[in-house]
Structure 1
Amino acid sequence: MITGMDAYLTQGTYRVRCDWGPPGADAVGPGAAIVAVVDVLSFTTALTVAADRGAEVFPYRWRDERAETFAAERGAVLAVGRSQVSPGRPVSLSPATIRAVARLDRLVLPSPNGSTVSRRLAEAGATVIGVSLRNASAAARWTAGRLPDGAAVAVIASGERWPDGSLRPAVEDLWGAGAFLQGLIEQGVTGLSPEAAAAAAAYRHVEPDVRAALLDCVGGRELVSGGYRQDVEIAAEHGASTVVPLLSGESFRPAPAP
């Protein structure tokens, strides 16, 4: 909880805010009309691929026995770990597996990063959308068209985790957040915090070849070395999706047109 002298951490004097992970969501999310969650490798990329197929997606914090029960109660497929894919369990957090499966109506997508941030914000009453490079432009248009005069937008770059569980800022999420923020700028939305402006500038730096940047960053090299290059290629599909996943209740569904 941000109180008293720590109020500056909320970026509350700015209309457009940006921060990292669950603590950042707690700081800049409250009071924002719309909060965009960004987890490029791979939660929100997987989310947009599933949404393109018309699937309803349930974010879930952890992949454990409770997640199995949660999925079964909702008649949904539970995404397994990438290395656990089998003929009986063909869907994982890998966007490539979500694209390849023959049919997908409901999906439980566990993630300690993007799912955790999304659920945390929704439980606090925020309007949450999922943003990746694939739908950043569409999400910015939707947000600008829906945003009341003077209302605030918060962008949360989910980041990754170090082995000790602490937050590791991930540059791919900075670029994804920046792509959305740059879209807001192009839609005429003003009042960016320095943090939000820096994210937009970071995206503009890699925009000429964002695919190469994704393949060369730590997260991209990790996936490529593990045999998941296609996931990075899908994440680099900037502008490929026009669907904006909106968290309504406990699941993401396509947002209505503004």
Structure 2
Amino acid sequence: MINPYAQVGYRIRCDWGPIGGDAVGPGAQIVAVVDVLSFTTALTVAADRGVEVFPYRWRDDRAVAFAERHGAMLAVGRSQVGPDAPVSLSPATIRSCAGLTRLVLPSPNGSTIARRLAEQGATVIGVSLRNARAAARWAARQLGPDAAIAVVPAGERWNADGSLRPAVEDLWGAGAFVTGLSDEGVGGLSPEAEVAAASYRQVAARVGEALRDCASGRELIQYGYPEDVDIAAEVASSTRVPVLDGERFRPVDVP
């Protein structure tokens, strides 16, 4: 039997989180991971600076050894940033850190999805509101005539039980990318992809305000990181696409 969750028959497929990615990713030529607050926004800020980013599932002793092996800085938790550890998942710290060339960026959702789907043979890219248009242009040029592309909004995790919390900002980022693909002439949207595109169109004219007022935006602002929300709202400001090449995301310029 055909897996009903795989959205087979559609060129542009969309589902949530690691499990959703496992459903729609197999067989797709390209997988776009979308984690607007903040993994893929951080990726695009790093790409703009030419920084190589190594995604890692967890921030633990293994991540420390991994960073040392690759001669990279290890991102710490936002609250742990200081003179000896200047970079976290916060895009603002990546933008301001002098001399940064290689970064290990742990993220339980965004990094996990990227690594899992790359292991299945897909070309994985990082997409945020900052680079959704450029990423769509790049993907449309790479996509074979009958090939599919999977879009995976990462979502968040509820602290209470670790279950997936669909995060509306990731739906908007996915929708911006899907809209860009449509503008590039790539059709065949699944109903799930259509919903993402419609969601983005609803807020496109006021996306900065919407990001600040959504639950994830309010959370970051409440904890003292409003600049991260502002950076995430820099729509179409980046023309670079982070493409996962082995263990690292490398920045690709999109004319």
How does the TM-score come out when normalised to structure 2? 0.98
1:130 matched residue in structure 2: 126
Measured on the aligned residues, the alpha-carbon RMSD in Å equals: 1.0
Is 1:205 aligned to 2:202, yes or no?
yes
Partner of 1:161: 157
Equivalent residues of 2:241, 2:254 under 8 A apart:
no
In structure 1, the residue matched to 2:116 is 120
Give, in whole Å, the separation in 1 of the partners of 2:167 and 2:212: 13
Quick one: distance in 2 between partners of 1:48 and 1:79? Answer: 15
Q: Does residue 96 in structure 1 map to residue 92 in structure 2? A: yes
Show the counterpart of 1:196: 193
**Offset at residue 145 of structure 1 (A):** 1.2
Would you say 1:178 and 2:175 are equivalent positions?
Answer: yes
Look up the match of 2:227.
Answer: 230
Q: 2:136 corresponds to which residue?
A: 140
> Distance in 2 between the 1:224 and 1:147 partners?
38
Task: Report the residue type matching 1:246 in the other structure.
Answer: V
- Counterpart secondary structure, 2:83: coil
Q: Distance in 2 between matches of 1:94 and 1:254?
A: 19
- What amino acid is the match of 1:12? V
Residue 188 of structure 1, CA deviation:
1.0
Report deviation, 1:31.
0.5
The letter of the residue matching 1:240 is S
- The answer for the alignment partner of 1:219 in structure 2 is 216
8 A Cα contact 2:35 2:41, kept in partner: yes
Q: Is the 8 A contact 2:32 2:124 kept in 1?
A: yes
Gaps of 5+ in 1: none
1:256 is displaced (CA, Å) by 6.2
What corresponds to 2:79 in structure 1? 83
Structure 2, unpaired ranges of 5+: none
- State yes or no: 1:18 paired with 2:14: yes
Instruction: Give the fraction of aligned pairs with identical amino acids, expressed as a percent.
Output: 70
Describe the SS at the equivalent of 1:244.
strand
Which of 22, 27, 35 is matched with 1:31 structurally? Answer: 27
**1:215-246 CA distance string (max 9 Å, x none):** 00000000000000000000000001000000
Please give the per-residue CA displacement for 1:102-126, whole angstroms capped at 9, x wherever unaligned.
1111000000010010001111111
User: What SS does the corresponding residue of 1:141 show, helix, strand or coil?
Assistant: helix
Counterpart residue identity of residue 177, structure 1: A
Indicate how the Cα distance of structure 1 residues 120 and 141 shifts in structure 2: closer, same or farther if over 3 A, else same. Answer: same
1:151-180 CA-to-partner distances (Å, cap 9, x unmatched) read 101000000001211111000000000000
Residues 256, 227 of structure 1: alpha-carbon distance in 2 compared, 3 angstrom cutoff: closer
Q: Distance in 2 between matches of 1:103 and 1:133?
A: 26
Partner Cα distance (2:253, 2:234) in 1:
23
